[in-house]
Chains A and B, each alone.
Chain A
Amino acid sequence: MSTDLKAPGAGVSLRRARPRYGERVVEFLLFLAAVLSVVTTVGILIAILEPTIEFFAEPAVNAWEFFTGTEWTVLFSEAQREFGMPTLLSATITTTVVALAVAIPLGLGAAIYLAEFASPRARKLLKPVLEVLAGIPTVVYGFFALTFITPSILQGFTDVGTFNMLAAGLVMGVMIIPTIASLSEDAMTAVPQALRDGAYGLGSTRRQVAVKVVFPAAISGIIAAIVLGVSRAVGETMIVAIAAGNAAHFGFNPLEPGQTMTGFIAQAASGDQPTGSIGYESLFAIAAVLFALTLIFNFFAIRLVRRFREEYE
């Protein structure tokens, strides 16, 4: 009697009816698409390392000179060649410092304004406008620095030449404002409202809440934003290639022209160096230094971003 009464669905196996090979194949193809990023990374490493190793194997090159020398004349004739990478590094540091001097105060100021002071409507309008700055092609920035910032603005104040690191750095700073502003604003809006309310209840003004509560609470995200900004400034190519000139010399005076690591890569590559020549190999050696630098910065920034996300979620 009761054996005739079956619960509905009983006896129907919930296991899949038949193996679905098609699904497995598609899943594997999707996996391959994801693995392409690993292939790209390995590709970058191989592309950079092989010529770099050959570069250091050249009899004319010694590693000590490469890391300490202050002359870089690789594209000169054979007798005059010097391989001091710090020459290019000094220009990279100079333009990056100028850019950060612009982008850190302006970017953080804008971020605090957007996160703590702007009305929701104003934020919705102003934030995208600010982010347009990140969408302008860098070649446009470079051209603007060369044909407007230097002759129409800088030369009114100081005695700078057509090419100088100051104009390149200033424009680069404006370019990375959105990077810093946007990420720091995210970090600040992630700070729980309860922290603000507590401070307001104790009689703090908006300024005090912003400076003494929200800013410290968001500091790891803000540092991550700045580190990413540094990484962008170090890797930026077109602005410095156009506006800073291509005379490589060691020095940190932003009023002078200078050639950064990226600027050298662009100049050497446009010169169509034959494969295996020392000029061609030096390009990759500089790229190796650049890649290592930005990788360290990015790794650091990504870890910081993860940390502040975990804290409040």
Chain B
Amino acid sequence: MTEPDPCETCEELLQPYLDRELSPDEHVAAERHLDGCEFCKRRYRFEVSLRRYIRVSASERMPDGLRAKLAELREVAGS
């Protein structure tokens, strides 16, 4: 059997690593590889910025007036 390519393994571990869902052994394995691999390190950092950017880009402020409409629902419900 051939050893899996460490970078492929890291690609698999990227999401659970950032979500802090790895087992302690997997975490150590990922950190050890990341320490020595610029390729994966760049991609991990990229993923962190990407997630933040997605959250910011996809967040739309509540339209003016909606809060007041919701508060009115409360008064109707209370009658």
- Report if A and B associate in a common complex: no
Residues of A within 8 A of B (CB): none
